Amino acid sequence: MGYDVIIAGASFAGLAVASRLRGKVLLLEPHAIGEHQTSACAIPLSVAEKLGLMDSVLRVLRRLVIHARSSKMVVDLSAHPYCTVDYKKFCCGMAAGVRAEVLRAHVLGRERNRVATTRGSFEGEILVDASGWRAVLAGRKGTRVSRRKFLSFGIETVAAKAGDKLGFWSDLGILFRGFAWDFPIDTGSRIGLASYVDDHRLRGPLEIFLARWGLARGEIHGGYFTSALRAPIEQDLFLVGDAAGQCLPLTGEGIRPAIYFGQACGAVIQRILNGELTLEAGREVYESFVLRHQRLYRALRFAQSLGVKLPPRFTSFLLALACTGPSLSYILPRYMALADTNNLHAARGSELQGKVHRSRGRAASC
């Protein structure tokens, strides 16, 4: 069966690509949409606003507290508030604006334009890999991102802890070369730990961290996220989100870039389908768009590598320096402009409104 576009993965990146398409599109995803949460889902409030998904917001957070070795810095985020969102509601909101067939299947691989899945194989004129760090269509072998030092690993749990600020810990004494977080939601907090160097032994440290507040570990979720860009076009394939290493190094913020680059990728592909661009020109447009952001990714990657290499007291000193008024007023707007939410389009965009996706297979959709 032939499709204009086949997208592997229907989370933030895959849904963002699909939201800009009007052709014959197939979305391949092993889980029901919004069912497989791996992330703490803290995003700039402007993402939820621009996408028109405010109903998924659980808590708005206007202050960030960074805990370093011997200091605590409070950052006023009122100019760039963040929020935590309900993953299922958010993804279902995105899916409501998508006009595509959704098939609940694992992608196994591809041969040229034919994608093999657990539910048969399908041919697409254009293929998009939005399958997260695994990059199931592109593969990771031989790439920079296949190396452990370019992958971070995190886990989190939900605990009954009240709060109204985003909390980050750069040095717990129990976990070096990573960070911890506390992101309040409506009914408690998402509390987790991440290692910049692919260290999986995080359950014990998470328990110690939770014990500070007398809390016990509940159900855990998590996984890998990337910390270095890889080529967004590989041979004839478009890569987006974590599959393209677009998660921001240092902070591990990957949802905003996945949606930002995903919508841009979808818009370029639609221009190819419209005949406004050749496939080759479209690939070049998307590639150069992504690579325009490379310098800032490198800067964040450099800051992350300092966090890995330097002793914690130096990291604390640098963090304190970064949080002073003049440094912060330089850094924060640039960080926010990296995947500028002003460029985002409503999830249920007017040109697509009412064209709700159809699904094949059980429980593929919301």
Ligand X SMILES: Cc1cc2nc3c(=O)[nH]c(=O)nc-3n(C[C@H](O)[C@H](O)[C@H](O)COP(=O)(O)OP(=O)(O)OC[C@H]3O[C@@H](n4cnc5c(N)ncnc54)[C@H](O)[C@@H]3O)c2cc1C
41 binds ligand X (CB under 6 A): yes
Q: Which window, 132-140, 198-206, 330-338, 346-354, contacts ligand X (CB under 6 A)? A: 132-140
56 binds ligand X (CB under 6 A): no
136 binds ligand X (CB under 6 A): yes
Closest separation between CB of residue 252 and ligand X, Å?
5
Q: Locate 332 and state its tokens.
A: 């924060």
Torsion angles phi and psi, residue 335, rounded to 5: -60, -45
Q: Which is nearer to ligand X, 69 or 154 (CB)?
A: 154
37 binds ligand X (CB under 6 A): no
CA–chain centroid gap for 288, Å, is: 20
Binding ligand X (rule: CB under 6 A), the pick from 225, 286, 297, 335 is 225
For 17-130, list the strands marked E by DSSP. 25-28, 42-44, 57-61, 63-67, 72-76, 82-85, 101-103, 107-111, 114-117, 120-129
Q: Which is nearer to ligand X, 69 or 153 (CB)?
A: 153
Binding ligand X (rule: CB under 6 A), the pick from 5, 8, 17, 138 is 8
129 binds ligand X (CB under 6 A): no
26 binds ligand X (CB under 6 A): no
124 binds ligand X (CB under 6 A): no
29 binds ligand X (CB under 6 A): yes
Torsion angles phi and psi, residue 221, rounded to 5: -135, 170
Binding ligand X (rule: CB under 6 A), the pick from 22, 24, 31, 149 is 31
List the interface residues with ligand X, window 261-300 (CB under 6 A): none
Exposure of 187 in the CB half-sphere (CA atoms within 13 A): 3
Q: What dihedral do alpha carbons 40, 89, 249, 175 form, nearest 10°?
A: 10
39 binds ligand X (CB under 6 A): yes
Q: What is the DSSP string of 244-272?
A: GT-SPTTT---HHHHHHHHHHHHHHHHHH
242 binds ligand X (CB under 6 A): yes
